[in-house]
Structure 1
C-alpha cells in the first residue's frame, strides 16, 4: 500500500473454523479460530488457515 509516496507494508493472516459437534457455545469455535490464526502467523504470515480441529495443535 502506498500513502503519500511511502510504501506501507501490510500483512494479513486469517484463521477459519466452523461449528463442530460438541460445541456448547460460540467460545468453543473462537478458541479454534484463534489457534488457527496464530498457527497461520507462525507459518510466515499472509496466510488463510482453515483446518479441522483435530489437526490444529492444542493443549485441551
Structure 2
C-alpha cells in the first residue's frame, strides 16, 4: 500500500483549481467576445430589415 504525501496532494489540488480558474477566465472572455459579435450581427440584421421596409414603403407610397 502506498501513501500519498498530503502536502503534495494539496499542492496538486490547488494547481488543478488554479488551472481550472484560468480556463474559466479564458472561456468567459471568449463568451464576451461572442456576445459582442452576435450583438453586431443582430443589429446589422435589424438595420437590414428596417432598410428593406423603408424601401418597400417608398416603392408603394
TM-score by length of 1: 0.33
Which of these two proteins has the greater Rg computed from alpha carbons?
2
Q: Greater helix share, 1 or 2?
A: 2
TM-score by length of 2: 0.33
